[in-house]
Chains A and B, each alone.
Chain A
Amino acid sequence: MKNEIDINPTQEAQAETPEWLLDLDKVGFVRRLFLARKWYGGDWWFVAISAVFLLFFIIVGIFPQWFAPYDPSAEVGPSLLAPGVAPSSYVLVAPIESGNITVKDIGDKTNNIGFVIGSPASQSLREATDALNDSAPEGVRYQPRQMRYETLEEGLDALAAGEIDGFVASPDELSEVLDKYPTLQIANTLREDASKGFVMGTNQIGQDVFSRIIWGTRIALIVGLSSAMISLVIGVPLGLISGFVGGPLDRVLTLIMDSLYSFPGLILAIAIAAVLGAGIGNIIVSIAVLYIPTYYRIVRGQTLSVKKELYVEAARSLGTSWTKILTKYIFPNVIPSVVIIFSVNVGDAILTEAGLSFLGFGLPPDTPDWGIDLARGQDYVRRAWWLISYPGLMVSIVTLSFSMLGESLSEILNPKLTDR
């Protein structure tokens, strides 16, 4: 008997509700997420794709060392090397009896290393010794005496005669003349790490663009997430209280927030950042200030409409404390919009941070940061497109992922837009 009563309404409901909705009731949370794409269509895909992107960026941001081949602030290669081009490799020539020595073995002050005057070999040698010195323990310093020769033959003669300990030259030049010197051989490449190459080229001071972009992800995420978090933590309670309490407090707060909201955000951030000075904490604060009004306005508006609901009225008449009404009865209503604003806000904050750094108000100058790289690359726009393209693309893609997530969520969750 009981069964019959139960079955009837279900059958009626089955006639009205589409099949996919019934599917949803049968399955678990994960399957439900996947089935939901039937209904939400493109927006589901937007959310899914941006979520995958963001997950990847967050992993990159937490563990940049897994992805970056070089130290982002070390000079690891020649300057302004185009992406994918192998650095011109110089080799060290030494007498056969010395074996496969490297610059490290003959890098002492008493040693002499020769090269042809005016050739890029001198820069390569300097970079090689600099790199050695950077990684050398305290007190050890590599500083071989540099000997300059007019021609390759002159230098090799000196090497064969034992006047110098090594000679730096490019393998192409050597292939023609080295046969004449039976006692000499190519001992080693000048640098051990240069063989890794530079996927995205190097910048004007020889840093690896790819590594800087990877480490920049961390900075961008730290700035974006923490400034959005600060705005949220300040803006949401203010909006809740202001909307709930009302009266003069509400009017004053709304006026302040509206003035802040109406003002060009970047200009305000510039002013605050300029006064505070460079530093990641200061940047976070100056960006956070901009977005407090956004949370405030939305949360206040929703609080105003929710507080008139019957269940809030009921709770009040039962003598529930106002803190409990705010946290348990009103706050849950604003969570969806806060999530949406947060997502869009993080994207915006990353964009603003890049803008601030681009104008020179951001982080300390040597931070691996996309905005700073863009600003520096601007001077080399004609010669080196890769300096601005990659950081610019990264800012765009990360911002895009956050905005797409927020926009699509709002499209899904906005009750005004649901079909009648």
Chain B
Amino acid sequence: MSNSLRRYLITRVLMTIPMVLILVTMIFFIMRVLPGDPIRSQLGPRVSEEQADALRERLGLNRPLIVQYVDFIGDMVTFNFGTALTQGERPIKDELGERLPATIELTIPAITITAIIGIFSGAYAAKNRKKPIDYIIRLLSIVMSSIPIFFMGLVFQILFSVRIPIFPLSGRMDTLMLTTFDSPTNFYVIDAIITRNWPALWSAVTHLIMPSVTLGLALSGVFVRLTRVNMIEMLQSDFITAGRARGIAENRLVYKHALRNTFIPILTMLGLQFAILLAGAVLTETTFSLPGVGRYLVDRIQLRDYTAVQSTIAVFAMFVAGVSLLMDILYAFVDPRIRY
């Protein structure tokens, strides 16, 4: 590993820490400084003040804010998320461990769909700029990003599950099958392959199709436009003109020379899209009743379970920061120009 690469990696990793810290801090103070008492709303009005105080005492909520804050940051650093207020005080770590795989299983096919649609139609539109097909692709891409994800999901449910029953309506797997399904990693698709349980694999995959297509389509809109703008810039660069002068076929020029060079900005954007993808996952999981992290967060917020909420959001922040770190490291390897 060269010296410049090592220095870049170290700086990049160090830059991730304040980013996560800022978000976690923000969430911590939002949950406490803003009006509304989580303990009262958790226990309900009929519980006496003494009991509420006892709960506050036990959770350490009666301590000074700064002590609580330092404590919370310490917990986050050691990945100790504590226990939820609701659900019989189950450790949040276990809960997230069960639900994160569902979210990942949803987001990986979704981002693949987004990337495939985005890169190819974006490049095609750029190549045919200002022709009718360019305008059609652009219009469609704006339409895709204007439809609320949950509305698209509901329409798909009506069309492909209620009217024409091709795909299952919701959930991760047939309920009957779940009772006998053994899932050590909680990645249903992987588990089904490991245990050679083909009907379970089929069920898991068909349950994933509608949600991931919904999420992938909804995100592809932005991505088509980003790819297109980048490709247009690339197609105006000198090396393309030079290539044209040398008589290289236009298709080869667009899809090989130009597209390869836009790959790095495209990857960067895909990394940024990941945050939007997670936000979309919250809505998709709600629409399709998938027991993922997004659904968990919404449920806990509705129950005002603030320990679960702040830990889940912290996990989200780490997840996003981790992905963007990973992407940046990837480019540093691919493209030496990025290192500094």
Q: Which A residues lie at the B interface, using CB under 8 A?
A: 41-42, 46, 255-256, 258-260, 262-267, 270-272, 274-277, 347, 351, 354-355, 358-361, 374, 378, 381-382, 385, 388-389, 392, 395-397, 399-400, 403-404, 407, 414, 416-417, 420
Task: Taking A262-B321, A272-B30 as given, write out 16 further A-B residue pairs in contact, using a Cβ cutoff of 8 Å, ordered by the A residue number.
Answer: A42-B135, A255-B22, A263-B23, A265-B275, A270-B297, A271-B313, A275-B30, A275-B34, A355-B148, A358-B148, A358-B286, A381-B154, A381-B158, A381-B162, A392-B147, A392-B151
With A396-B146, A396-B151, A399-B146 given, is the CB distance from A358 to B283 under 8 Å? Answer: yes
Contact of A258 among B19, B157, B304 (CB under 8 A): B19
Main secondary structure of the interface of B (DSSP, over half): helix
Contact of B316 among A46, A267, A388, A416 (CB under 8 A): A267
Whether a CB of chain A sits under 8 angstroms from the CB of B99 is no
Whether a CB of chain A sits under 8 angstroms from the CB of B68 is no
**Cβ B279 vs Cβ A403 within 8 A:** no
With A259-B23, A378-B154, A417-B229 given, is the CB distance from A395 to B162 under 8 Å? Answer: no
Select the stretch in B136-144, B192-200, B242-250, B252-260 that faces chain A: B136-144
**Cβ A400 vs Cβ B142 within 8 A:** yes
Question: Which residues on B sit within 8 Å (CB–CB) of A397?
Answer: 146
Question: Which residues on B sit within 8 Å (CB–CB) of A404?
Answer: 139, 142
- Which one of A267, A276, A381, A416 has the highest number of Cβ atoms from chain B below 10 Å of its Cβ? A267
Question: Which residues on A sit within 8 Å (CB–CB) of B275?
Answer: 262-265
With A378-B154, A404-B142, A407-B142 given, is the CB distance from A271 to B30 under 8 Å? Answer: yes
**Cβ B316 vs Cβ A263 within 8 A:** yes
**CA–CA, A42 and B143, complex, Å:** 16
With A264-B316, A396-B147, A400-B142 given, is the CB distance from A274 to B135 under 8 Å? Answer: no
Question: Which residues on A sit within 8 Å (CB–CB) of B313?
Answer: 267, 271
Contact of A407 among B225, B232, B302 (CB under 8 A): B225
**Cβ A263 vs Cβ B317 within 8 A:** yes
Closest A-chain residue to B236, C-beta based?
Answer: A420
**Cβ A396 vs Cβ B148 within 8 A:** yes
CB-CB contacts of B65-80 with A at 8 A, as 1s and 0s? 0000000000000000
With A275-B34, A351-B148, A358-B150 given, is the CB distance from A266 to B139 under 8 Å? Answer: no
Main secondary structure of the interface of A (DSSP, over half): helix
Going nearest first, the 9 A-B pairs with the smallest beta carbon separation are A392-B151, A264-B279, A266-B279, A400-B146, A42-B135, A399-B146, A259-B22, A264-B278, A275-B34
From residue B22, how far is it (CB to closest CB) to chain A in Å? 4
**CA–CA, A309 and B233, complex, Å:** 24
**CA–CA, A108 and B279, complex, Å:** 56
Whether a CB of chain A sits under 8 angstroms from the CB of B31 is yes
Contact of A374 among B20, B148, B276, B324 (CB under 8 A): B148
Question: Which residues on A sit within 8 Å (CB–CB) of B45?
Answer: none
From residue A178, how far is it (CB to closest CB) to chain B in Å? 43
Closest A-chain residue to B309, C-beta based?
Answer: A271
Question: Which residues on B sit within 8 Å (CB–CB) of A347?
Answer: 146
Whether a CB of chain A sits under 8 angstroms from the CB of B155 is yes
**Cβ B142 vs Cβ A263 within 8 A:** no
With A265-B275, A359-B298 given, is the CB distance from A395 to B151 under 8 Å? Answer: yes
**CA–CA, A42 and B276, complex, Å:** 29
With A41-B130, A359-B282, A395-B148 given, is the CB distance from A267 to B297 under 8 Å? Answer: yes
